[in-house]
């Protein structure tokens, strides 16, 4: 972050522009601080209708010094036997395979930042070392769920971003590294709703109508991209970089609240994960954003109450439109609404730091700009 700020401050003019933009941003966020929720375009509306979610949490893993500081995520530690996991080997999920200090997992030369989830290249007691991170909140109901991720190029793992209630109420985005064929530019992505039907078929959703294998137009292991699913009343929509990949409806769509999970594993089952990998394999997650309605009626009504008591003259102004992340900004995740996690920089603090540093040298001009900007803000000019 230091270098980004330094680079953009080459000239006095640049500095002023930066400060004015920062202040205008503060001004705008003072006007719209999302008291009434977060919106996406309604997929059923041609007339610009929106769907609103009242709750959210966001984690920018690139700014989280230590995953143990997270208020939203818990690293899991458990074993799954080969038999229970329907694999050739067991799975050993270990906290030590998850870290935001990812240099210890990386080969030299990578400057990626984020959360690393490692699958070990060496078996321990006939089990493959794996990684799983769960959200603490388990009241995630209708919502729009997004993760910035870069998958592994190592053959033989399954990387997943999913929503889970139980084995028959589950929404999955799964990457099988064995399926990526860079020679022919084919990058399949598996989109699954686990349903009572897929349970009957031995958790094989293929052929149950709630499974789709789509081809991505990019190599998911070459760069960060945003993967998203919108879990709505009667359907689940899947996206990559805000482009629609699949729209699933019907009985398979879950109905309850659940939690979010990030995982990276292998068990040697040639029909799914393949592997085990010949060397350590790394999934890197740079952020997760969850915008949702709570399935807990008390939490939901608290949010509705917060909106109506926020004294906003116009409720629509108090709803923030969730920006669409594209391939160009998937590396940073674009805009975060905050509040950020403890130990994270985040949007708010970045602005404070810029103002603080600027005022050392630019005290007088900044003061003038501040007065003008605040006046403009109060006059409603922006
Ligand atoms: C979320 O809850 C709010 C408040 O009850 C409601 O107005 C809104 O329609 C809900 N959103 C969805 C997508 O169901
Ligand atoms: C992260 O925090 C935990 C718990 O406080 C500590 O044991 C660990 O050493 C920290 N990791 C780093 C890399 O500082
Ligand atoms: C998983 O299995 C290993 C032995 O293979 C054992 O040392 C470890 O304690 C187990 N972990 C849990 C959480 O049960
Ligand atoms: C999952 O939860 C649903 C809803 O409560 C229930 O009907 C179903 O039987 C559960 N499935 C399993 C495998 O427990
Ligand atoms: C991964 O390994 C399997 C088994 O050896 C092979 O069939 C598959 O083509 C490999 N995939 C890639 C992407 O190399
Ligand atoms: C994905 O690409 C493969 C190989 O070209 C092709 O056989 C398959 O039909 C494609 N899948 C879709 C859904 O277009
Ligand atoms: C893989 O799928 C084939 C065909 O459906 C099946 O015969 C085989 O038992 C499966 N292998 C595993 C390890 O599940
Ligand atoms: C809203 O207005 C009422 C009455 O004017 C006041 O008591 C309350 O503190 C205000 N709430 C907020 C969040 O500003």
Pick the ligand that lies closest to the CA of residue 65: 2
| pLDDT score, position 251 | 83
pLDDT at 205: 66
Does the beta carbon of 370 lie inside 6 Å of ligand 3?
no
Taking residues 147-172, report their average pLDDT: 97
Q: In this structure, which ligand is nearest to the CA of 196? A: 4
Residue nearest to atom 11 of ligand 4 (CA): 168
Ligand lying closest to the C-alpha of residue 190: 6
Q: Residues with beta carbon inside 6 Å of ligand 5?
A: 155, 178, 180-181, 274
322: Cα within 13 Å, side-chain hemisphere: 29
Ligand 3 centroid distance, CA of 94 (Å): 9
Q: Under a CB-based contact definition with an 8 Å cutoff, are residues 267 and 88 in contact?
A: yes
The whole-number pLDDT of residue 230 equals: 98
pLDDT at 71: 93
Tell the residue nearest (CA) to atom 7 of ligand 4: 168
The Cα 73–Cα 342 span in angstroms is 12
Q: Does 382 score more than 50 pLDDT?
A: no
pLDDT tens-digit readout, 3-39: 333 333 344 444 554 454 555 444 444 445 799 999 9
What are φ and ψ of residue 289, in 5° steps? Answer: -125, 130
Per-residue model confidence (pLDDT) at position 365: 46
Instruction: Quick: pLDDT tens for 182-234.
Output: 999 999 999 999 888 887 777 766 666 789 999 999 999 999 999 999 999 89
Nearest ligand atom owner, CA of 296: 1
Residue nearest to atom 8 of ligand 1 (CA): 52
Where are any strands of DSSP class E within 66-139?
A: 73-75, 78-80, 90-93, 98-99, 115-119, 127-135
The response to whether residue 123 sits with its C-beta less than 6 Å from ligand 3 reads no
Rg for the chain, CA atoms, rounded: 22
Which amino acids bring their CB within 6 angstroms of ligand 1?
51-54, 142, 293, 300, 304
**Distance from the alpha carbon of residue 265 to the mean position of ligand 2, in angstroms:** 24
Instruction: Of 56, 73, 165, 163, give the one whose Cα is nearest residue 117.
Output: 73
- Look at ligand 7, atom 8, and give the residue with the nearest C-alpha: 271
**Distance, CA of 342 to CA of 346 (rounded, Å):** 10
pLDDT tens for 237-259 read 999 999 999 999 988 899 999 99
Ligand 7 atom closest to the CA of 87, numbered from 1: 13
Half-sphere exposure of 349 (CA within 13 A, CB side): 12
Domains of the chain: residue spans and CATH? 6-294 (2.60.120.200)
């Amino acid at each position: 972050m230091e270098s980004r700020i330094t680079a953009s401050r080459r000239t006095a003019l640049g500095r002023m522009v930066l400060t004015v933009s920062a202040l205008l941003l503060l001004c705008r966020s003072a006007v719209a601080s999302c008291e009434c929720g977060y919106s996406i375009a309604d997929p059923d509306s041609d007339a610009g209708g929106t769907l609103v979610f009242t709750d959210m949490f966001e984690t920018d893993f690139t700014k989280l010094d230590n995953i143990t500081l997270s208020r939203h995520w818990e690293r899991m530690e458990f074993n799954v036997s080969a038999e229970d996991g329907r694999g050739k080997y067991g799975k050993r999920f270990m906290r030590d395979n998850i870290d935001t200090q990812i240099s210890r997992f990386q080969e030299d030369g990578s400057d990626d930042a984020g959360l690393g989830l490692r699958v070990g290249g060496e078996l321990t007691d006939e089990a493959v070392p794996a990684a799983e991170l769960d959200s603490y909140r388990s009241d995630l109901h209708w919502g729009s769920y997004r993760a910035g991720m870069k998958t592994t190029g190592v053959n033989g793992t399954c990387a997943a971003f999913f929503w889970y209630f139980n084995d028959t109420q589950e929404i999955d985005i799964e990457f099988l590294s064995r399926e990526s064929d860079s020679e022919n530019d084919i990058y399949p992505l598996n989109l699954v709703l686990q349903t009572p039907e897929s349970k009957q078929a031995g958790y094989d959703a293929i052929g149950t109508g709630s499974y789709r294998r789509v081809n991505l137009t990019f190599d998911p292991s070459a760069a960060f991209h945003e993967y998203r699913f919108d879990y709505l009343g009667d359907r689940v929509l899947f996206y990559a970089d805000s482009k629609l990949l699949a729209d699933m409806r019907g009985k398979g769509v879950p109905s309850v609240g659940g939690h979010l999970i990030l995982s990276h594993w292998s068990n040697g089952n040639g029909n799914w994960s393949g592997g085990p990998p010949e060397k350590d394999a790394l999934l890197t997650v740079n952020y997760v954003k969850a915008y949702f309605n709570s399935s807990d009626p008390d939490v939901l009504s608290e949010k509705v109450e917060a909106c109506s008591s926020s004294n906003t003259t116009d409720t629509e102004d108090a709803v923030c439109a969730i920006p669409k992340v594209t391939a160009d900004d998937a590396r940073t995740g674009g805009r975060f609404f905050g509040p950020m996690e403890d130990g994270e920089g985040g949007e708010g603090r970045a602005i404070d730091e810029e103002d603080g540093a600027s005022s050392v040298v630019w005290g007088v001009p900044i003061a003038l700009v501040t007065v003008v900007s605040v006046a403009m803000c109060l006059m409603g000019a922006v």
